[in-house]
């Protein structure tokens, strides 16, 4: 598979505090990668660095071989990257349809595979709630809406931060099912979540962060076979 995202010796800062330390890894087209680590280890900072929301980032980031280390979030989005933030970022004053169509556009290569009807096909619950305001949705429905909105941009890569945080088990299963659909569509994904067992069933690779550095990168089965590493860095 062709390399889609390449991160080389990336460092990230909040003021004088360095949060990321020489992080390097890549994501191929259609690949799903789990980004793991305890709270405060740099996962969200890394996601924000990729999408351009971290002001002070140094090193190399390329998307489709285009240099994006100094690019604005809108340019990175236009290059084919979508972001589902922690907290979902749903517009409460807009209804479901309005939240979705505001993001609708062709992909970087002109594709329009993901339409309103297609999102409603994947998320029937959103179709049922299409006239409801974002503030009227449950947490699970808001997460579906946030993922649906990202898909409406017809991306090559989706970043999903805390995919199932705070969701009921049945709703979480729906999110995992959706990630399977996204994978089948050939869309690359970087997903942050604490449910290693569920992630291991769908992702191709795991990247483990500790104090802003990669301490493990490999197949889920390889990580699950290292209990001491899991206990040290994930507490599982």
SS3 content of the chain, % helix, strand, coil (to 5): 35, 30, 35
pLDDT tens-digit readout, 8-23 = 999 999 999 999 999 9
Rounded distance between C-alpha atoms, residue 9 and residue 112, angstroms: 34
Average pLDDT over residues 30-34: 97
Mean residue pLDDT of the chain comes to: 95
Q: What is residue 235's predicted lDDT score, i.e. its pLDDT?
A: 82
Q: What is the pTM of this model?
A: 0.94
| Measured distance CA(171)–CA(139) in Å, rounded | 9
Over residues 71-99, mean pLDDT: 94
- Mean pLDDT for 155-166 is 95
Proportion of the chain above pLDDT 70, given as a percent: 99
Confidence label for 236 from pLDDT (cuts 50, 70 and 90): low
Domain ranges of the chain: 3-233
Query: 1 pLDDT exceeds 80?
Result: no
Q: Return the closest-CA partner of residue 90 out of 45, 156, 134, 38.
A: 134
- 3-233: CATH topology is Rossmann fold (3.40.50)
């Amino acid at each position: 598979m062709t390399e889609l995202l390449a991160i080389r010796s990336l460092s990230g800062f909040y003021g004088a505090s360095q949060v990321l330390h020489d992080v390097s890894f890549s994501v191929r087209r259609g690949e799903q990668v789990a980004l793991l680590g305890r709270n405060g280890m740099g996962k969200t900072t890394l996601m924000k660095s990729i999408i351009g929301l971290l002001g002070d980032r140094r090193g190399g980031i390329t998307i489709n071989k285009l240099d994006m280390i100094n690019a604005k979030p809108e340019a990175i989005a236009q290059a084919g990257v979508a972001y589902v933030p922690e907290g979902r970022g749903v517009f409460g004053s807009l209804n479901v349809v309005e939240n979705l169509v505001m993001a609708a556009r062709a992909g970087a290569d002109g594709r329009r595979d993901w339409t309103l009807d297609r999102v409603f096909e994947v998320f029937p619950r959103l179709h049922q709630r299409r006239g409801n305001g974002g503030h009227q949705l449950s947490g699970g429905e808001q997460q579906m809406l946030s993922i649906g909105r990202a898909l409406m941009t017809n991306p090559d890569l989706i970043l999903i931060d805390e995919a199932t945080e705070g969701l009921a088990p049945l709703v979480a299963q729906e999110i995992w099912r959706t990630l399977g659909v996204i994978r089948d569509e050939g869309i690359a994904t970087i997903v942050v979540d604490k449910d290693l067992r569920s992630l291991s069933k769908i992702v191709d690779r795991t990247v483990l962060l500790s104090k802003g550095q990669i301490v493990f990168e490999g197949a889920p089965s390889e990580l699950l076979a290292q209990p001491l590493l899991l206990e040290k860095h994930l507490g599982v």
